[in-house]
Amino acid sequence: MEELLKESLENENVQQLLEQVDDIGYYDPEQIYLFRNSVLEKYIHSKREIQLIHDKLNKYKYIDGLDELLLGRYIRWFKKDNVYLTNGGFVIDIHFYNDVNIVCKNGQNKIFNLNFNECIVFQKMSLQEELIMNIISCLKASE
């Protein structure tokens, strides 16, 4: 495993990828889990339910602000007053009316809006983000 990690870190593409990362902590799997957990604990009081949602959001990160939300990415959310995790949809637009509305499209081609201020939103990580997370996990494990 250590040899594979060393080979990966010597790979120019991996080096370039890591150099593009502004904040390594942002991709630290442990930090992502802890941050997501602190958000879930504000709205869910059952440890079992929190763990079930963690399992469903394994490759998702919590979206704290609109600057983190990317068009074309898949999101899942729950309303702050009704903790039911949706199946989600792809972000196709963001509208600024009285509130911030995210326009999504689901697998049945249904288009709908959700109010960003009323929801807790989680965005699926890209393959590149997952790769960075795996590299960071390997680096931490080899220390």
pLDDT in tens, 6-58: 555 555 555 555 555 444 455 677 778 888 888 999 998 889 999 999 999 98
The count of domains in the chain is 2
> What does the alpha-carbon distance between residue 123 and residue 63 come to, in Å, rounded to a whole number?
7
Residue 118 sits in which domain range? 61-124
CATH, residue 111 = 2.30.30.520
| pTM, two decimal places | 0.78
pLDDT tens-digit series, residues 77-96:
999 988 899 999 999 999 99
